[in-house]
Structure 1
């Protein structure tokens, strides 16, 4: 008989876990564990690393590549990696309930990248709005009201003291130093969303952006922002930094805005990314030698701008047969009644 996922209930939270481990492909979907029509608080799977690949637990960085969330409560999704050993790790996609309401997560896909512990050429890390807001909470009250520092209050006006204190910040940032590593030049920094908590109701749009700025060889500025009428209760992102000259590796960002304006939303937006010339030349030589295999392209969402009159249902797709030595084709799809004005994606191509 086929193995069935196990379901448990504790303190009102439902958890479903697939009993068999999944191969390490860099991708996970809740739909591999349960049906979309059976939303749970937590959906879990075990990912098995290739045999003898690691002697110590590796470092991981992960983000969402697809989200399908109800608008009946706050839009909430969190991606967690735990129980990391040299052989495997547990991946969990979850939602939650608090004073603002209860999130309903129909489905989500995740993408991740790994590196051996102690590797110095690549840096992984995490930034959470709570990091920036803790810093804000420690400021004197008059500085909070003046909106100084790195956190700005949503729709705040200087004469509305109560609104300034209650409204969650719309802009959150923090200067991050690269640990144990000093790049010779500013590295490439890719950001992936791995937690979001957005208000819904009143046709308030869903907007969140994860980004990096002011990148130097030693530090960069991490950002988690919203804008317009959107309310960001919280969010988190992973970041991946590595030398821009690394062989057989390329990275970048693409957006629906590369193809169409935000006011022309479509169910499917399609575009193409071209690799940098050095990557093209290396991959072309590999094909000429008869050793061709497409690079692995890992792509995670870093920006969403969707209408608030329905749930949020957005996914990014990159098909292996549409990856060649010069680049790849991508699609951003909006499902159901979701209107996706814009979406952004951070990508990494691994050709080694």
Structure 2
């Protein structure tokens, strides 16, 4: 199973606005023919933030063995003013050959950009799947006007090995004026 998206587009626009943006590709640390469960990379921001930033992380591509279940997540932790660790982790027997993600660091006091998350688990239990789920995204503070740019990236994906129907409980949202 191969998955690809255009999340990078929003990140490139954000870079033009002076935000910290980068990518993490598992091929940077292991060959694609080697299946793995967890990968991480230390990323250094081009310029230190005044306060610890929020980091939005989303997948840009996945190459997963279709004979296994798909359980994969992308996230950041150990975030400081100058760096963070970006992870792509799996569980439940998932065999991933390669994956890539984009990350965007946004100052928590930035007046133009914010990040937020939506999880379908906030709406219904994992064992009661829904065909469609929608929800308003709550950001940390109100925008003075509706955002002009809105990017969404998947940061957690699960799929049944028989049906191969992706279920995405978590989406990372990036919005700006």
What corresponds to 1:302 in structure 2?
Answer: 155
Is it true that 1:227 corresponds to 2:91 in the alignment? Answer: yes
Q: Cα offset for 1:264?
A: 1.5
CA separation in 2, counterparts of 1:167 and 1:238? Answer: 22
CA separation in 1, counterparts of 2:77 and 2:15? Answer: 27
Aligned residue pairs, count: 173
Please state whether the residue corresponding to 1:267 is helix, strand or coil. Answer: coil
Query: 1:265, 1:339 within 8 Å by CA — same for their partners in 2?
Result: no
CA separation in 1, counterparts of 2:56 and 2:108? Answer: 11
CA separation in 1, counterparts of 2:133 and 2:88? Answer: 24
Gaps of 5+ in 2: none
Q: Which has the higher contact order (CA 8 A, sep 6+)?
A: 2
Q: How does 1:267-278 map to 2 (within 5 A)?
A: 267-277=131-141
CA separation in 1, counterparts of 2:36 and 2:15? Answer: 36
CA-based RMSD: 2.2
Q: Structure 1-normalised TM-score? A: 0.46
Deviations 1:145-168 (A, max 9, x none): xxxxxxxxxxxxxxxxxxxxx962
CA separation in 1, counterparts of 2:93 and 2:151? Answer: 31
Q: Structure 2-normalised TM-score? A: 0.86
What corresponds to 2:125 in structure 1?
Answer: 261
Gaps of 5+ in 1: 1-74, 80-109, 135-165, 284-292, 312-337
CA separation in 1, counterparts of 2:24 and 2:35? Answer: 17
Query: 1:266, 1:339 within 8 Å by CA — same for their partners in 2?
Result: no
Deviations 1:173-209 (A, max 9, x none): 1111112x011111111112111010012xx211221
Structure with larger Rg: 1
Query: 2:157, 2:166 within 8 Å by CA — same for their partners in 1?
Result: no
Q: Cα offset for 1:294?
A: 5.0
